[in-house]
Amino acid sequence: MSAFMTSFRTSARSLKDIRVLTGTALFCALYMILSMFNIYFTPTLRITFGFLAMAASCYFYGMAPNLIGAFVCDFLGWALHPDGAWFPGYALNAMFQAAVYSAFFYQMKELKLWKVLAARLLVVLVVNLVLNPLWLSLMYGDSFWVLMTARIVKNIIMYPIDCFMLVMVLRLCVRLKQQRG
């Protein structure tokens, strides 16, 4: 736990660095661009690629800037492409993803496959399979279990694909960080 708190304090101190704020903002813009390229199966079930930008940002800048960035990205994403009323639960989803990716990837010296698999699995289980159906159920009155069942199939299919894409992106991030020194 102390390593986690040290990591959080380090990233919180970096909020004073203009390069960190600029980098986080650029990754936020990339997140919103990637999130525009959704593949819709139903109005409530889609595949998106924004998590790749979020994971990369979390690798470079840590938890504190990315918690703020995730909230801002969620709100700006809704403002640019509103699909109904803004719901704060989705901002919590984005912030949870940022927290998980930061906890697993920030200050990672070399890419570890188990970290990628565990981080993505945690996000899939908590956000995709529990929180998203819960928010949709609260907002639209649909059955939680029906919404969750459809997501189980999608996430079983997408999990290895998402992990592969995440490994490729993080491999590039590690290489860039090593070159930068």
Please state whether the predicted TM-score (pTM) of the whole model is above 0.95.
no
140: alpha, beta or left, given left = phi > 0 and alpha = psi -120 to 50?
Answer: alpha
38: alpha, beta or left, given left = phi > 0 and alpha = psi -120 to 50?
Answer: beta
In the prediction, which pLDDT does 145 show? Answer: 92
Q: What is the Cα–Cα distance from 94 to 116, expressed in whole angstroms?
A: 17
Q: What is the pLDDT along the chain (181 residues), one digit of tens a residue?
A: 677 788 788 888 888 999 999 999 999 999 999 988 888 887 767 788 999 999 999 999 999 999 999 999 999 989 988 877 889 999 999 999 999 999 999 989 899 999 999 999 999 999 999 999 999 999 988 899 998 998 899 899 999 999 999 999 999 999 999 998 6
In the prediction, which pLDDT does 92 show? Answer: 97
In the prediction, which pLDDT does 55 show? Answer: 98
Residue range of the domain that includes 62: 2-180
Q: What is the Cα–Cα distance from 178 to 173, expressed in whole angstroms?
A: 9
In the prediction, which pLDDT does 14 show? Answer: 87
Asked whether the beta carbons of 45 and 100 are under 8 A apart, the reply is: no
CATH number of residue 9's parent domain: 1.10.1760.20
In the prediction, which pLDDT does 85 show? Answer: 82
Amino acid at 44: T
Number of domains the chain contains: 1
Q: Where are the alpha helices (DSSP H) in the chain?
A: 2-13, 18-36, 50-61, 63-80, 88-105, 113-123, 132-140, 144-180
